[in-house]
Structure formats: C-alpha cells, structure tokens
C-alpha cells in the first residue's frame, strides 16, 4: 500500500470483529514497531500482547471498560528511567506506535491508541511490568467491523495555518482552564470541532442523566407538538425519546455537529430554514453553560418565538450544589484543565450562569418569565456510590437545588 493511502485511511477503530489477527500479521506489526527511530537507538519501548480471556476480563474490570471493544491489544511499556530529557523516550515510543498503526492499516487491521485508562499500578502487577517503568498507552487492534452509515469517516483536522506558523509562533492555543470566560468564541468552536469526532458519534457527553429524564419528559416532551427549535442541543437521551409528532429543528454554531445529527435523526438544521420562521416551542436545556454568545441566543429566541408560543430553559443553578461543587474545585485548582474529569470536560470550557444574568437577557429582549421552578435532580449525588455521601448530597440539594427551569414568553 502506498504510504500516503495508509496515512490518510488510518482511523481510530472502536469496533472490531471477533476473529483474531494472525501471528504472522502480529509479527509484521512488531517488526514495524521496532524499525522506528528511537532516541540514542536505545529502544526502550516494548509491547505486551494481551489476548488471553482472563487477563482481558481483569483489564476490563480494573483498567478500562473499553477493553470490551476488542479481544486483543498491546500494552505499551516504556522504560523512561533512562531519560536524556525532552521526553525523548516517550516520543520514541510514540513514533514506534505510529509505525505499527500504519503497518496495521496496510494489512487491513484497525487500531486505536488508548490513553484513557486507570489502574496503572494494578496493570503493572498483572503483567509483571517493573513499577518504575511507565505504561503510557494501550493499543487496541483487530479486524475492523463495518462502520455504521453515519460514522464520521474523517475527523476534523485543524487548519494548516494553525498547525504551521512561519518564523514566529502564531499564538493559537487552548487555554489550560475550563473557565468559559477565558476562552474566545473562536477558540471554543475550534475546541468543539476537534473533540466532536471523539464524543458526539457515540454521545459520550455526560449531561443526560436518568435523574433528569422525568423532568425533560414532563417539561418538554409531553407538552409539545409540532415544530420545536432546540438551541445548542447535545442530548442524545432526549432525541431518543422524541415522538413522531415533533418536528425538531436544531440550532448550533457548529455545522459538523448539526450535520451529524441530521444524518442520525431526521431533523432540520436551523441555518437552512427561513429566518422568519416562528416557533411555538423553543427549548434550551443545560447548554447555556457552554455558550459564550449568550446574548445572541436570547436575541434569537425573541425573534423566533411566536406570540402564542413559549420557550423553555433549563440551566444549572449558579447557587446549586452542583455548581458550587465545581466552582470550588476550580478555585482550589483541581479542575484547571479542559481535560479534567468534570462531567463537562467532554464538551470543553463552561461557565455557570446566574439567574440574574438570564433575567437581564430576558428583559433586554422583550421576554418574560411565566413559570419558574427549581429542580432537585441529585446530579452530583448520582456520581457517588457511597450511601451516606449520596444521602448528604441529596439533603444539601434541598437547600441548593441543582437546576432552574423557566418557561418564558414574549411580553
Ligand atoms: C495518545 C492518544 C491517546 C488516545 N486515547 C484514546 C482513548 O482513551 N479513547 C479513545 O477512544 N480514543 C483515544 N485516542 C484516539 C483519538 O481519539 C483519535 O486519534 C482522534 O480522535 C483522531 O481520530 P483518528 O485517529 O481516527 O484520526 C487516543 C489517541 C492518542 C494519540
């Protein structure tokens, strides 16, 4: 296979056939791994092949549930105790892995590098890896399953002008904070474009919770008929519950996302419909937090809402336990990276919104509140297994409810 073709066709594959890759092919993969350049030619990266059922089950339980995707994988082991600086050993290992993945592509074998796993010490013990060595990556591999029709074939890649700057660094970077206010709108959109291919196709973003389902159902699904416009709409659980009477229009800044939804569900894309179209139902649920141009959203709502229609907003209460918890983590520096393990990290920077801020936007746009309710969903409590902690959180939730829902109309 032509190198260019292998480079272009290689994708991270997350669904495999059960048939095992042959020993000969595995041998070829290891060959290509070994032929990569390494710092000082020390070759301090190695692979542990795991294809034994018992080990896979243990890895699934203690390392990552993703092991379910495959029945064979490599564990990358790097001896970085010998390190001449500049992350030379890790970079060497990365180059070797890329060689292996391109070779796999040539052989018709799919791969997926996996850094999202935990239980490293356990894994080292399980595989007899010396404690001082690192395991930076798992490499899943196998024969590719046929991809679903709506699978994104080529994930978004940044513009070459962002990648390559000439003589001086072009100063584009992602802020190492998930504080929405510190990001520009362009940066947020760029971030979402990149993260999109990883999270949206499988709808792995974590906002849709069972505890919210009933609220959504009574608040929205059971109360609308006909056309509904959804802003910044990211909830698959919701889409799955929609009935045929509802014709859903989705507005989002990000075309790739709305196009993806269109391919998956039969929905309309707002940018394409008549700007003067008015809606009896407008819905905005728990996504204002990720939205930088909030004023524009409210302006738009007032333009698109029919005189007899109503818009329903659901947002995390700035004074709710959920918001307080995450703002506290932020304050003490525990969630200062966009990749931190907050339930939001999957969709990037966010900022809790104050009720007073919403009221200002409503006033500016000739909108009024006709119904307001606090919702105690125990979103945060759901995250803990410990009964006592769950109880304490649910009690605190009474004083600091997590969500606010509003029904608004044109004045
Ligand atoms: C170091 C590294 C770690 C990764 N970890 C994960 C992971 O934990 N889970 C996952 O599904 N994909 C993971 N990936 C795959 C990336 O999501 C993927 O490369 C990216 O979205 C681009 O898609 P593509 O590989 O199909 O071009 C990882 C990739 C790299 C390079």
The domains found in the chain, sorted by start residue, are 3-143 (3.40.109.10), 210-410 (3.40.50.150)
pLDDT at 149 over 60: no
Q: Distance from the CA of 194 to the center of ligand 1, in angstroms?
A: 11
pLDDT band at 272 (very low <50, low <70, confident <90, very high): low
The pick from 144, 198, 339 for probing ligand 1's pocket by mutation, whose C-beta has the most ligand atoms within 8 angstroms, reads 198
- Write out the DSSP string of 148-211: PTT--SS-----HHHH--SSS-------S--BGGGS-HHHHHHHHHHHHHHHTTTT--S---HH
330 CA to centre of ligand 1 in angstroms: 26
Residue 189 confidence (pLDDT): 80
Q: Among 16, 68, 110, 114, say which to mutate for ligand 1: greatest number of ligand atoms within 8 Å of CB.
A: 114
Distance 111 CA to ligand 1 centre (A): 10
Check residue 395 and give its pLDDT: 92
> Would you state the pLDDT for residue 204?
41
The rounded Å distance from CA 256 to ligand 1 centre is 19
Contact 93, 5 (CB under 8 A): no
At what angle are helices 185-199 and 255-264 packed, to 10 degrees?
30
Mean pLDDT of the region 50-67: 96
pLDDT, tens digit, for every residue of 99-110?
A: 999 999 999 999
> pTM of the predicted model, to two decimals?
0.82
Which pLDDT tens digit goes with each residue over 338-383?
666 665 656 678 888 999 999 999 999 999 999 999 988 777 787 7
pLDDT of residue 317: 92
Looking from the CA of residue 13, the nearest atom of ligand 1 is: 26
Please give the average per-residue pLDDT across 293-313, as a whole number. Answer: 91
Q: How many CB atoms lie within 10 A of CB 291?
A: 21
Q: What is the mean pLDDT of residues 70-94?
A: 94
Nearest in space to 308 (alpha carbons), one of 235, 394, 370, 377: 370
pLDDT band at 151 (very low <50, low <70, confident <90, very high): low
Ligand 1, atom 13: closest residue by C-alpha: 114
Looking from the CA of 25 toward its CB, the CA atoms found within 13 Å total: 18
Q: What is the mean pLDDT of residues 80-98?
A: 93
> What pLDDT shows up at residue 322?
84
Task: Give me the percent of the chain exceeding a pLDDT of 70.
Answer: 82
Sheet containing 279-285: order of strands:
268-269, 246-251, 226-231, 279-285, 305-316, 403-410, 367-375
pLDDT at site 152: 54
- Choose the most confident range, by mean pLDDT, from 120-124, 162-166, 266-270: 120-124
Q: If you measure from the C-alpha of residue 49 to the centroid of ligand 1, how many angstroms do you get, rounded to a whole number?
A: 19
Ligand 1 pocket, CB under 6 A:
11-12, 14, 112-116, 137, 155, 197-198
């Amino acid at each position: 296979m032509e190198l260019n073709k292998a480079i272009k066709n290689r994708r991270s594959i997350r669904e495999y056939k059960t048939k095992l890759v042959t020993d000969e092919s595995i041998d070829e993969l290891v060959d290509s791994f070994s032929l990569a350049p390494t710092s000082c030619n020390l070759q301090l990266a190695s692979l542990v092949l795991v294809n034994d059922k018992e080990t896979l089950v243990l890895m699934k339980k203690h390392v990552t549930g993703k092991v379910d995707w495959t029945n064979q994988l490599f564990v990358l082991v790097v001896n970085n105790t010998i390190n001449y600086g500049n992350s030379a050993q890790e970079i060497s290992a990365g180059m070797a892995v890329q060689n292996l993945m391109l070779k796999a592509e040539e052989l018709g074998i799919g791969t997926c590098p996996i850094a999202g796993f935990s239980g490293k010490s356990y894994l080292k013990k399980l595989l007899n890896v010396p404690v001082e060595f690192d395991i930076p990556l798992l490499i899943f591999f196998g024969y590719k399953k046929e991809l679903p029709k709506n699978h994104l074939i080529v994930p978004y890649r940044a513009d070459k002008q962002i990648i390559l700057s000439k003589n001086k660094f072009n100063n584009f970077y992602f802020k190492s904070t998930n504080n929405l206010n510190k990001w520009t709108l362009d940066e947020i959109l760029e971030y979402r474009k990149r993260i999109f291919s990883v999270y949206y196709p499988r709808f792995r973003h974590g906002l849709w919770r069972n505890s919210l389902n009933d609220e959504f159902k009574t608040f929205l699904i059971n109360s609308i008929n006909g056309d509904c416009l959804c802003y910044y709409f990211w909830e698959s659980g919701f889409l799955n519950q929609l009935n045929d009477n509802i014709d859903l229009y989705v507005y989002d800044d990000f075309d790739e996302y709305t196009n993806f939804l269109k391919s998956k569900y039969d929905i309309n894309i707002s940018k394409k419909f008549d700007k003067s179209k008015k809606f009896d139902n407008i819905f905005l649920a728990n996504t204002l937090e990720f939205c930088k141009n909030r004023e524009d959203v409210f302006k738009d709502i007032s333009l698109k809402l029919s005189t007899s229609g109503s818009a329903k907003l659901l947002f995390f209460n700035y004074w709710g336990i959920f918001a307080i918890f995450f703002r506290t983590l932020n304050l003490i520096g525990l969630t200062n990276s966009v990749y931190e393990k907050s339930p939001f990290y999957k969709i990037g920077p966010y900022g809790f919104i104050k009720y007073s801020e919403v009221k200002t936007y409503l006033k500016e746009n000739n909108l009024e509140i006709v119904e307001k309710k606090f919702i105690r969903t125990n979103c945060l409590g759901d995250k803990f297994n410990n009964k006592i902690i769950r109880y304490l959180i649910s009690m605190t939730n009474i004083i600091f409810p997590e969500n606010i829902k509003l029904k608004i109309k044109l004045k």
